[in-house]
Amino acid sequence: MSDEDAHYSRIAVTFLDRDEPGGQYGRYMDGDPNAGLAKSRWDAYRAIYSRDEIKLGVQRDEAGDAFIMVDSVGLLNRGHTTGYLFCRQSQAVSFRFQPCTLNKNEGSHEFDPKAREEGYSFWRLDGSWFVYDEGPS
């Protein structure tokens, strides 16, 4: 379903981010008629999120990789998000989730505040699927 809505980089329970021309994006809150996603479609996402206990929705990168964000702990720059990541077979783009570019079964990187590098850890489940965690803590 999210492949059909690939022009949305994030579909959460209460907001969505839509890719706009020129590399920009627009954030739209629940109920905004300018969001471009039919209420019935958004409700379908919410039903799936509720059923599967997905608290934060789905985020896609430039290659179409999809991070299903199940839960988070902490706030803003002191927390982390955990979920499942699906990596598409794709050509190189400027931003992809690390497991999709490293070609490893597992890995991690400590948060580096001086270099502003995000921390992450991952484990391959099967094929293109990973358990993925990102954030500084």
Write out pLDDT tens, residues 75-126: 766 788 999 999 998 766 778 899 998 989 999 998 887 877 788 999 999 9
User: Do 122 and 90 belong together in one domain?
Assistant: yes
Residue ending a domain, among 13, 35, 52, is 52
**Number of domains into which the chain is organized:** 2
pTM of the predicted protein model: 0.88
Q: What angle do CA 36, 29, 3 make, to 5 degrees?
A: 45
Range of the domain at 41: 1-52
